[in-house]
Chains A and B, each alone.
Chain A
Amino acid sequence: MIDQSIASLAKKLRDKEISSVELTQDYLARIKQYDGQLNSYITITEEIALAQAEAADKQLAQGAASPLTGLPIAHKDLFCTDGILTTCASKMLHNFVPPYESTVTGRMLASGTVTLGKTNMDEFAMGSSNEKSYYGAVKNPWNLDKVPGGSSGGSAAAVAAGLCVAATGTDTGGSIRQPASFCGITGLKPTYGRVSRFGMIAYASSLDQAGPMARSAEDCAHILQSIAGFDANDSTSAEVDTEDYTANLDAPLTGLTIGLPKEYFGDGLNNDVASAIQEAVKEFEKLGATVKDISLPNLNLSIPSYYVIAPSEASSNLSRFDGVRYGYRCEEPKDLMDMYKRSRGEAFGKEVQKRIMVGTYALSEGYYDAYYLKAQRIRRLIKEDFVKAFEEVDVIMGPVAPTTAFGIGAKTDDPIAMYLEDIYTLSVNLAGIPAMSVPAGFADGMPVGLQIMGNYFSEAKLLNVAHKFQQATDWHTKNPSLVEGA
């Protein structure tokens, strides 16, 4: 069953080959069977899921179904879900039950999806390995000794292991694409503003963007169709019309110009990853695309720029977690200052505390110009690099990450090595453009992700490019041995 696409499952549901309740029970059983090893879920909402499945079956019986009706999915645990624990994988929110629904989860519910639960992640979406969760590390289904990537590691692992049909993720510096790459699934980070941030617990507001994580580009298109579009509750959501994201998936790629930035193929890129990407590019040439060498000269500046801007915004965004109104409050505070210090000191993990401190420092009087303003200037340069590149090419391709999934604990003592993991993904967030990770082979038995970057609001084009590749290759259909035979 886990090999099925959204389209084929939807057909089976409509044809009454299977009911949503049966499908949901299958997935719940799989979660019980496998998630003890993977730890991809923080909360499993069995009762809610079965109730939603029953409702979906009624809708299906009435013939009023959307392509997503009755499909069991999972949400990253930073989308507020009305009445369902939402932790951000932090002790700070270990008891937080939101009184409202985020726009993303609300739109998915309106499309008739069944919520299996909330997936694990790096605490407050800060991390590239999913080792920084209050609820413990997530394991990569392809090799339980390896990380699944982060911060949407729980969603990626759950999709790869067939513990949900698809999942939502968020991407601030690569948090959809890198775990998608590490777990061999397809992930899309839309254009900044394409998907509403309302109800999404903020890490870095000017970079955060929600998107789908699924087994194929086609599945991603169905999810994006549900969640994309202007939302009056989010002032930064774009008043740009959505497209029919499945309509042109099969459009031929003849005449497509692919840019290959030389900076994405330099030092630090693992040789096996490089070959997998080059093979994938050849596949596109077979499909009629032409390749052009380009340059994104400021790529190296994306790491320092990102690691000033994101922590700066985070230091402010996370100020609301003060023990006053919700979430964790320390025992027996002596006074107000003691309450602030101990509540935050006891409930935020080390990585979160580090980024709050870095951001607080960068915004301080006397340092603001040297750090924050300079980082914003670099951000403009990075954006201009992309704008210039898209005058010559339709899409840009390269690796998602310099390596495949690394070992659990391998980089926890080396934060710089961990931050370098994000070198190919950060600039996309800084520029605000959309990008995908698409399975493109294996290196040492672990999946390799091809990154496809597009111009602003070109999601339909990206999905078309990725879909054509998936029609020609079978990398996205491979399953980890852990779950094979399911």
Chain B
Amino acid sequence: MENYTLWKSLLSSGTDIGFFKEFYVYFYQAFIENDRWLQYLQGVGTTLITTAFALILGVVLGVIVASIRTAHDQQRTGHRNIVLGFFNAICKVYVTVIRGTPMMVQMLIMCYVIFSSSRNFTMVGALTLGINSGAYVAEIIRGGLMNLDAGQSEAGRSLGLGYIDTMAYIVIPQAFKAILPALGNEFIVLLKDTSLIAMIGGKELLHAAQNIYGRTYEFMFPLVGIACMYLVLVMIFSWLQGKLERRLRQSER
């Protein structure tokens, strides 16, 4: 603490105090002074909660949209269901609009147009991320369902199993295994995209860094610092995902 005050005043008067002391000063300033590490910690917490919320929303939306789209496309000819056709059209519009416009623009529209009266920017941001992610998850799931060898569902149907049973017992368990890598990738994208919430005032990790460099006018340590934090979070998740994939593959040997 005393070292910090002394070295900092030397540094600001232009004295060369050497690399390690200078590093110490900036590090202390970015993370320790005024208990700033607490802000990062809160930021990490918000980032994780936001990611979890957006992920759940994204997966729920994705499963619903993918189910409707797949069920619609796999109808027998002469068995066209009008209600299903209507929902299918809505799903198509949703996927097209979300995938066809930039996330940042969606975020700003949500914040300043749709929820312009809301002050809970983190929540609005999480909602946007979830809705955005849903469109991508839907396409991942649909791809997984469509890509499975048609013989599998034919075998199920030829045994007399209905469409729903065939999906539940035969197609989905196998498709899930196949889409897990893509789904993991989507999760990683989501985790990093939470940083966009800072642009509308959500209090996540990037927001903490902005707050701090706004006071200290020293950019490198807060920014590189949060970059490392994102990296560690993603690496932990990739490791967990790898474990899950290995475990699922074991059941087939």
Do A and B bind? no
